[in-house]
A and B are shown apart, each in its own frame.
Chain A
Amino acid sequence: MRKCLSLLAVLLLSVGWVFAQQKTITGRVVDAQNQPIPFASVKIKSSRAGVAADAEGKFTIKAKPGDILVVSASATGAAPTEITVGSENTLTVMLQGSKNNLSEVVVTALGIARSRNRVAYAAQTISGSDVSDNRSFDIAQSLSGKVAGVQISQNNTLGGSTNVILRGYKSITGDNQALFVIDGVPVNNNNTNSVGQMSGGGGYDYGSPISDLNPDDVASITVLKSAAATALYGSRASNGVILVTTKKGSNGLNVSLNLGVRRSYIDMSTFPQYQHEYGAGYGPYYDDGTGFAPYFYGYTGKQGLGPLVPTTEDASFGAAFDPNKMVYQWDALDPTSPYYQTERPWVAAKNGPITFFNKPVSTSQSILITNSNAQGSYKFGFTRDDENGILPNSNQVKNILTLAATYNVLKNLTIGGEANYYDIPATGRYETGYSPDRAPNPMNNFRQWWEMNVDVQELKQAYERTHANTTWNWADPYNGGKPIYWDNLYFSRYQNYESDDRKRLIGNVNAKWDPTDWLSFTGRVSLDQYHWIQENRANIGSVEVSGYSKFLDDFYERNVDLMANFHKNLGTSFNLNALVGANLRHSEDQTTSSQTNGGLALPGVWALSNSAATPAAPAEYDGIREVNGVYGSASLSYNELLTLEGTLRRDISSTLPKGHNAYYYPSVAAGFVFSKLLQNANWLSYGKLSANYAEVGADAPIYSVYDTYSILTPYSGSPVGSLLTTKNNADLKPERTRSKEINLELAFLQNRLGLTASYYSTKTVDDILPVTVSAATGYSSEFQNAGSMTNKGLELVVNGTPVKTRDFQWDITVNWSANRNKVVQLFKDASGQEAKDLQLAGFPFGQTMNAPLGQAFGQLRGSDFIYTNGKPTIDPNTGMYEVTSDVNENIGSIQPKWIGGIRNSLRVNDFSLSFLIDIKQGGSIFSLDQDFGQYDGLYPITAGLNANGKAKRSDVANGGGVILPGVTPDGKANTIYIQDNAAGAAYGFGAAPDKNFVYDAGFIKLREAILGYSLPHKLLAGTRSIKGVQLSLIGRNLWIIHKNLPMADPESGTSFGNISGFQSGVYPSTRDFSFNVKVNF
């Protein structure tokens, strides 16, 4: 089937174009204020052949002089206008409407464009340039701070994933990701990151497939946030929809070329600061009779018995640096080193961790050619991005080919097709989280386990000398060179790298048939298919056993859509827009993962056949989901004043058991443009109140109905199998989310000031989730319709144009949203006993993220202080913190208090400047980096002088040591000095509870600043072919204006998915500067 469809698409696209010999008229449709009216219809009255205007109101049509053009924009309510074609080649058509007929058209579910007056739910639209002008490689990241109620989290890794949550987490364990729909076709955004990676363990962030989309091809993005707006999409839209409309050929020949170059610099406020006084060691423990206690070992080098740096100790609680002290360092054990068996002065490294990172240069090029006329349109595009990372040997390339066409077969029948091909190879993605294993995350070293005497450039030279794993972290200086915990970082980057490649085709063929002017049928078959290979390597000589693994992911989704659309004015006052449709969806995901067993036989041969022992059979997964839906909607509008709408969809899903697998999504909405009744109130340009209610359902994860066993590797020929620890459930029902929304839209002073406010309340019931049960049942969890969660929130968008003259315009948009979430039900068994908590993630060191009953989703738990008068209590005997005995205390919440953005755009003649401030207030993050880095003596807090002016690390008896902030049980301020001479003695884990490392995750960032210059038209007039040239200087993530988390970006950390609030080995963020040239021909 999929072959057939691909072939069909190709055939359709290869149809040659025949253009009639008529004259070409280009034109523009505007309203009374000379503002463009987008998407107007332009038809030749005699033949009914026609075209649609684009988002800027521009159109191109072939016509003969004497033809009568009928220009209408039913969405705006303006009366159609007829114009007779004369000798002119350009036309400006003005459509008259009342002052309330704002030209803004909103694209709603299923791609139906409507006037704002007739939309009865919150839908915020941003233009394509909002996501492309910043030259970010990921459109999802570009939404950050621009749309109220959209929470974007991004990981600072090369090609890393982006989490897109609309109006809060609705399902306790479900996907919660907004659905991206491109030109009516839902696209896959499945993530292949492992559960361990998502919970802060080691792994790679393979990114979100949505990042494949080409920002340069986006015409506009509409975010549909309420269930009433998305109910027609069925269950997969239960977390909101982001509708992307791509550019269309609608304007004669248009060639646009983009050339960009970007350089990135590490934002040093997100990079660790170090102490530079002490080197390798965990403390003065090592009095083992060598005579070199307490920090060094005796070593028989060239000079005889001398002090050896404790290379096994990946910490910096060792001896104080002293340039007069000669010691054997790690390189004294490397026979290829000039310092082999040679003592060197004991000093801090000259080239610290920052020298490991590149200042990468990335480039992007794209060309997009569009053309259209009365016969049809086409679009052809190619994009190539070369993105280089801050780590050595890291690179991702994006190649995107686009071909789309429409052809008017008959005067009332248009067929079209589109194919987008993506090839996205990456090498050396960054390992994330806590991962002291293959290809370790270098930030685990630079934030957690490191010796301040180790010179990174010397490591580089050592690697380059032999390409062997010459490490600073020798296990054993006497018995051969082998690392104990950490490889040479350059060996890791060049020998133990990952690579992956996603080849993807997204395309569709469609037909639109308008038998009459009030009825149209649309049919479409679309597919989204990719093949993704991911390979991991660990060469012989690594700390971990060597190996090679390979993961293949074949994804395929097919959608067949049929829709009939009825739109008619009933009399002079009423307008009816109704549709019925059907959607057949089939998706299939097949994965195979295999790896070598027991190491590699030969170094550097990346093949499964190079396995030392026989590899186990590959693990396979084959998950199919089919959902068949039928739907209908009717929207009745009275005089553009009142709109009533109802929708109903019925889905049958394959992932639910028989009898429970069909479910309905009803929605009702009403809108009232009250400003129509206040025609005399000149201060009010627009006023609309709308309210809606919807109930949407969702199906279950694949294979949660019937129980199965897993088959394991046979034991010497005997079969081995196992029960799964999650019990499935043959009685599952669909989960449901009920949502209510009230919106107020106001505009004042001839639309110079606008305000949109939305209040919403959603309640998810019968949430399908694997509820945690007592392990004594033989299962850890069971699929149940058990959970219930509420989200209530407020969204505000204010936009204004403080200054607007011919030469200067200043626009400002502020958006703000706050969401409050609560888990109202988890799971009650038959006896009425109720689970009080559902653990969502266990982080690598005992901290957890939870959904506790009665509290918000995403509570962080761990150990806490014991408090006296609200202050941490100090044990008067030890001077150390008193800590709770358990690790089940609430220590923070991932939920922000509010998020917002402020965007300013200034235009002076041909110059434009825009900047975006992105704000997140509140929420917590646990930093394992601070926990371990302080424990390990890397950070300045652990060294320097105490209040007495003595070295903190010297003995308390000699005036050294530190006082921990807190109070003794009698409530008095702590005055007890404790030792700070060893790992965990005074700081970091062991010395303080988890709560001590929980930070406010809020931030204020200057997210984007774009300075643009358009070459004046008169300059280009001579060239004939060049229509416009735009030069821009772009900065992204320029400045973290405020944050509370030290040495890291509060946005970094866990990736895509429901889990956040944990940082381990996070990468610094980069300031990205781009220069871009855009030329239109």
Chain B
Amino acid sequence: MKILKQNFWMVSALLMLLGGCTKDLTKLNNDPKNPTNISYSALFTRGQQQLSNLLNTADYDFNPMNFFEQYWQETTYLNESQYDIFYRGIPDADWNTLYLNVLANLVRADSLAKIQVTDAGALANVHAQIDIMQVMAFYYLVTTYGDIPYSAAFNLVNNAFPKYDDAMTVYKDLLTRMSADIAALDDGSAGVGSADQIYGGDIDAWKKFASSLQLRMGITIADADDALAKTTVEAAAPNVFTSNADNANFAYLSSPPYVNPIYNFFILGARQGDFVACSTFITQLQSDNDPRLPLFFTTNSDTSANYTGGTPGDGVSYFGHAKPAPIIYTPDFRGVFIDYPETQFYLAEAAERGYSVGGTAASFYQNGVEGSIIEWGGDSASAKAYYNQSSVTYATAAGTWQQKIGTQAWIAFYNRAWDAWVDSRRLGYPVFPAPDKAKSTFPERFTYPVTETNVNSTNYSSAAAAIGGDNVTTKLFFVKN
């Protein structure tokens, strides 16, 4: 005790210091810089923007379809031009973007909207708009990989390793959802409003947009399930886009970060030197004096004023070849989800298949061809002149309707190679020459991500077996040619 008395101030100091440990430390788990709650619309915009970026990027880490479809050719790093999608891990990159960056945000936006949107009418519209974006994302998953996790997806708490569902079953459910969404859209109520960067929330525009997507989804399965395709297409046809003014374009801005992904990749990422035009596409454009040639490409850098395309799969020089035109890498260049010319080609095909879509194949085809030229900045006179060539005019152009429509849709799908890839697999046209040193025959799908093989192994194996093998050459459910 004497010791304590003598050293009273020391003991007091010790006790004071110990006094610091009484507070509740668990509060420090709250991150002061990131919110635990957010508005559904913030996630909706994110999901929409991420989907647009993925569909419109030229980055070879995500988009090898520019080379599958032989629009472009890589100058020196030839993996993707030679059908190698593994080198840069593309199957993982696209899968992750769709599930994590697009769908996860949209799924959460949907559940938050149920809490945050109190008006029933508005909620119905919001739900439909979110769901349309989701259906679109799933469309790309199912037409790219085949069977995918769907019914068991987005349920981490109970299911970290979700099973895969049959692709056609998923597809039919997506069609059901799309019909319901179109029916739910009601011009009398509000919707996502300005969170929508396509139409600024215009519900009528969304109806046309959704119907056009429905048309695409219907025609995609025409070979696989003609009856379902017919009802879907016929339901959609009266309500689809009627001009380029209706196009579903994502409105990129003129300064970063929300700039067109090609600007991001080419200019901010300084990668434009990796790409030139492909000879396959240049030959096609030149053979019919296509007015889109100078709109799509610039001439070689040499003094020749030629448009030289690179041979598929071969290394080619940058300045000795035609290059993508600067329009596609301007910061605010449109990001297209679906456009008018595309719908016209679908309708032309529907007419050929005998579906009742209110017009002839030739007229829809002509709308598509001319619409595309106008969309790219051509004038209607040159569009007409181009169409009137016998090699283009529907009646006289060479080949079957699949070849005619396939070829013109392919040209119109320039800079939208993912959609072109769905179409050309299905129609079998155009027929692409095998690239030099091709790693496989024409890619029919992406293989499943490496992560899935490592992590979701059992379900992965079942899915791989169910679709006929996890190979790039396995034809998917909608391809019957």
Distance of A846 Cα from B153 Cα, bound (Å): 26
Looking at B11-19, B116-124, B351-359, the stretch in contact with chain A turns out to be B11-19
Interface pair A779/B104, CB less than 8 Å apart: yes
A sample of 20 more A-B contacts (CB under 8 A), given A436-B270, A720-B49, is A288-B302, A413-B10, A545-B268, A655-B28, A710-B34, A711-B38, A713-B258, A716-B194, A718-B194, A719-B42, A722-B101, A772-B451, A774-B160, A776-B153, A777-B154, A829-B161, A830-B158, A835-B161, A863-B86, A887-B450
Interface pair A716/B253, CB less than 8 Å apart: yes
Q: List 8 A-B contacts (CB under 8 A).
A: A310-B317, A437-B269, A545-B267, A772-B454, A837-B455, A842-B89, A983-B76, A989-B87
Interface string of A475-494 (1 = CB under 8 A from B): 11111000011000000000
Distance of A486 Cα from B42 Cα, bound (Å): 39
Interface pair B302/A515, CB less than 8 Å apart: no
Interface pair A836/B317, CB less than 8 Å apart: no
Interface string of B320-362 (1 = CB under 8 A from A): 1100000000000000000000000000000000000000000
Distance of A778 Cα from B95 Cα, bound (Å): 11
Q: In A787-841, which residues have CB < 8 Å from any B CB?
A: 827, 829-831, 833, 835-837, 839
Is A10's CB within 8 Å of the partner chain B? no
Interface pair A719/B32, CB less than 8 Å apart: no
Interface pair B39/A719, CB less than 8 Å apart: yes
Distance of A484 Cα from B105 Cα, bound (Å): 37
Looking at B240-248, B288-296, B308-316, B417-425, the stretch in contact with chain A turns out to be B308-316
Interface pair B153/A887, CB less than 8 Å apart: no
Interface pair B308/A288, CB less than 8 Å apart: yes
Distance of A582 Cα from B304 Cα, bound (Å): 81
Interface pair B30/A773, CB less than 8 Å apart: no
Is B465's CB within 8 Å of the partner chain A? no
Interface pair B31/A721, CB less than 8 Å apart: no
Is B428's CB within 8 Å of the partner chain A? no
- Identify the A interface with B (CB < 8 A): 282-283, 285-286, 288-290, 297-298, 300, 310, 312-313, 315, 413, 436-437, 475-479, 484-485, 511, 513, 515-516, 521, 523, 525, 543-545, 560, 562, 582, 584, 597-598, 612-614, 616, 620-622, 624-626, 628, 652-658, 661, 703, 705-713, 715-725, 727, 771-780, 782, 827, 829-831, 833, 835-837, 839, 842, 845-846, 848, 850, 852, 863, 885-888, 982-984, 989-990
Q: Which residues of A contact B368 (CB under 8 A)?
A: none
Interface pair B33/A652, CB less than 8 Å apart: no
Q: Which residues of A contact B300 (CB under 8 A)?
A: 288
Closest A residue by C-beta to B304: A289
Given A661-B26, A718-B41, A780-B100, the answer on whether A628 and B21 have CB atoms closer than 8 Å is: yes
Interface pair A312/B7, CB less than 8 Å apart: no
Closest B residue by C-beta to A703: B31
Interface pair A775/B99, CB less than 8 Å apart: yes
- Least CB distance from B47 to A in Å reads 9
Q: Which of A478, A657, A708, A835 contacts B31 (CB 8 A)?
A: A708
Q: Which residues of A contact B104 (CB under 8 A)?
A: 723, 725, 778-779
Given A523-B14, A661-B25, A983-B315, the answer on whether A778 and B107 have CB atoms closer than 8 Å is: yes
Q: Which of A310, A657, A721, A835 contacts B38 (CB 8 A)?
A: A721
Interface pair B18/A625, CB less than 8 Å apart: no
- Least CB distance from B386 to A in Å reads 27
Is B36's CB within 8 Å of the partner chain A? yes
- Least CB distance from B205 to A in Å reads 17
Interface pair B319/A827, CB less than 8 Å apart: no
Interface pair B450/A886, CB less than 8 Å apart: yes
For chain B, the bracket of interface size reads 35 or more
Q: In B133-165, which residues have CB < 8 Å from any A CB?
A: 148-149, 152-156, 158-162
Interface pair A477/B301, CB less than 8 Å apart: yes
Q: In B442-458, which residues have CB < 8 Å from any A CB?
A: 447, 449-458
- Least CB distance from B73 to A in Å reads 11
Distance of A705 Cα from B99 Cα, bound (Å): 23
Q: In B86-131, which residues have CB < 8 Å from any A CB?
A: 86-89, 95-96, 99-101, 103-105, 107-108
Question: Interface majority SS on B: helix, strand, loop or mixed?
Answer: loop
Given A282-B315, A718-B41, the answer on whether A845 and B88 have CB atoms closer than 8 Å is: yes
- Least CB distance from B171 to A in Å reads 16
Interface pair A313/B317, CB less than 8 Å apart: yes
Q: Which of A300, A310, A658, A839 contacts B451 (CB 8 A)?
A: A839
Is B399's CB within 8 Å of the partner chain A? no
- Least CB distance from A424 to B in Å reads 28
Closest A residue by C-beta to B19: A584
Interface pair A776/B148, CB less than 8 Å apart: yes
Q: Which residues of B contact A885 (CB under 8 A)?
A: 86, 471
- Least CB distance from B67 to A in Å reads 15
Interface pair B454/A835, CB less than 8 Å apart: yes
Q: Which residues of B contact A845 (CB under 8 A)?
A: 87-88
Interface pair B154/A712, CB less than 8 Å apart: no
Interface pair A297/B105, CB less than 8 Å apart: no
- Closest CB pairs A-B (n = 6): A613-B255, A776-B149, A778-B104, A721-B42, A837-B454, A708-B34
Is B433's CB within 8 Å of the partner chain A? no
Distance of A829 Cα from B152 Cα, bound (Å): 14
- Least CB distance from A688 to B in Å reads 37
- Least CB distance from B336 to A in Å reads 18
Q: Which residues of A contact B88 (CB under 8 A)?
A: 845-846
Given A288-B300, A562-B18, A839-B451, the answer on whether A775 and B25 have CB atoms closer than 8 Å is: no
Is B29's CB within 8 Å of the partner chain A? yes
Interface pair B89/A846, CB less than 8 Å apart: yes
Q: Which residues of A contact B96 (CB under 8 A)?
A: 775, 780
Is B63's CB within 8 Å of the partner chain A? no
Interface pair B28/A626, CB less than 8 Å apart: yes
Q: Which residues of B contact A513 (CB under 8 A)?
A: 7, 10
- Least CB distance from A683 to B in Å reads 50
Is B43's CB within 8 Å of the partner chain A? yes
Interface pair A477/B25, CB less than 8 Å apart: no
Distance of A833 Cα from B454 Cα, bound (Å): 12
Interface pair B457/A836, CB less than 8 Å apart: yes
Q: Which residues of B contact A413 (CB under 8 A)?
A: 7, 10
Distance of A886 Cα from B457 Cα, bound (Å): 15
Q: In B262-304, which residues have CB < 8 Å from any A CB?
A: 267-270, 273, 300-304
Given A282-B76, A780-B96, the answer on whether A654 and B317 have CB atoms closer than 8 Å is: no
Q: Which of A655, A719, A774, A989 contacts B456 (CB 8 A)?
A: A774
Distance of A613 Cα from B39 Cα, bound (Å): 27
Interface pair B160/A990, CB less than 8 Å apart: no
Q: Which residues of B contact A842 (CB under 8 A)?
A: 89
Q: In B52-101, which residues have CB < 8 Å from any A CB?
A: 75-76, 78-79, 86-89, 95-96, 99-101
Given A560-B20, A723-B105, A779-B156, the answer on whether A312 and B42 have CB atoms closer than 8 Å is: no
Given A285-B314, A286-B316, A777-B155, the answer on whether A708 and B35 have CB atoms closer than 8 Å is: yes
Interface pair A773/B318, CB less than 8 Å apart: no
Distance of A297 Cα from B300 Cα, bound (Å): 12
Interface pair A597/B255, CB less than 8 Å apart: yes
Interface pair A831/B450, CB less than 8 Å apart: no
Is B195's CB within 8 Å of the partner chain A? yes
Interface pair A626/B319, CB less than 8 Å apart: no
Closest B residue by C-beta to A730: B29
Is B45's CB within 8 Å of the partner chain A? yes
- Find the residue from A475, A511, A850 having the highest chain B CB count within 10 A: A475
Q: Which residues of A contact B160 (CB under 8 A)?
A: 771, 773-774, 777, 782, 827, 829, 833
Is B256's CB within 8 Å of the partner chain A? yes
Is B46's CB within 8 Å of the partner chain A? yes
Interface pair B28/A835, CB less than 8 Å apart: no
Is B197's CB within 8 Å of the partner chain A? yes
Interface pair A285/B317, CB less than 8 Å apart: yes
- Least CB distance from A981 to B in Å reads 11
Interface pair A516/B3, CB less than 8 Å apart: yes
Interface pair A721/B450, CB less than 8 Å apart: no
Distance of A1016 Cα from B416 Cα, bound (Å): 83
Is B188's CB within 8 Å of the partner chain A? no
Distance of A712 Cα from B48 Cα, bound (Å): 14
Closest A residue by C-beta to B39: A719
